[in-house]
Amino acid sequence: AVFKTLSPFPRETAAQLCHELLMQGLPAIVEEDIQRFGATIQNLQCIVGDHFAKAQGGRFTSPKVEKALQKLEHAGAVGIGQSSWGPTGFCLVDSPLKAEHLLKACLHHGWADEGLEIRIATPRARGASITPTTHGIESP
């Protein structure tokens, strides 16, 4: 129902985002350039978030999450964004030590409003695993 209230996502914008991800984001991963990768992800998140702003009440679903992410960005995090419809937000840092530092700063300075949970997560860094199975398949 929400999609019916939104204007169609512009084809040109989708093409621009795909191009940016392919030409900037993916090479940044290979080159281990977190600043460039973060900028690519954040730009994509801003454009998509702004498109859905009417339906979700702003670029982010949760003003509390948006506030926490702004503080984290100011402290050096990159790639600020929201998972799908939120309210889960995310940011990227270049090391576990930086992640710990930002988590402690979040707690110490009260950047995360009551009710928010801040977690450190690591990327999976590998593709999906597919395990063939015969479960649910009947023999002839």
For residue 98, the one-letter residue type is K
Q: What is the CATH number of the domain that holds 95?
A: 3.30.70
For residue 60, the one-letter residue type is F
* Domain boundaries, position 43: 7-109
In a domain, 64, yes or no: yes
In a domain, 115, yes or no: no
As for how many domains the chain has, the answer is: 1
In a domain, 117, yes or no: no
In a domain, 94, yes or no: yes
Mean pLDDT of the chain: 90
Q: What is the pLDDT of residues 7-53, one digit of tens each?
A: 899 999 999 999 999 999 999 999 999 999 999 999 999 999 999 89
In a domain, 122, yes or no: no
Rounded Cα gap, residues 43 and 110, in angstroms: 27
Please state the pTM of the whole predicted model. 0.82
Whether pLDDT at 130 is above 90: no
Rounded Cα gap, residues 2 and 21, in angstroms: 26
Whether pLDDT at 139 is above 70: no
Q: What is the mean pLDDT of residues 116-137?
A: 82
Rounded Cα gap, residues 27 and 23, in angstroms: 6
What's the pLDDT band for 100 if we cut at 50, 70, 90? very high
Rounded Cα gap, residues 110 and 71, in angstroms: 10
